[in-house]
Amino acid sequence: MTITLTQKENWELWAEAEMNSLQNPEPDEFICQVPRLLGKGYVRDIEVYPNLLLTISDFEYHALH
C-alpha cells in the first residue's frame, strides 16, 4: 500500500509526534520518535552552544512496494 501525503499532512504528523515525545531530562536536549505511519526511529536535537544545534537522526521509512 502506498501512502501519499501532502507537505501539510507530513508536518502535521511530525507535530503530533513532537507533542507525544517526552522532553529529555537534559534541558538542552529533545528526542522525537518518527511517526509510526512513516517508519521507525528517532530524531534527537542537542543545543551544544547558543544558536548551534546538533541533530542526530536514526530512522528508516517504511519500504515502498
Domain ranges of the chain: 7-61
In DSSP notation, 7-59 reads HHHHHHHHHHHHHHSPBPSSTTEEEEEPPTTTEEEEEEEEEEETTEEEEEEEE
Report how far residue 60's alpha carbon sits from residue 65's, in angstroms, rounded to the nearest whole number: 15
pLDDT in single tens digits along all 65 residues of the chain: 677 888 998 889 888 888 877 666 677 888 888 888 888 999 999 999 988 999 999 999 887 65
Residues in contact with 6: Cβ distance below 8 Å, sequence separation at least 6, in sequence order: none
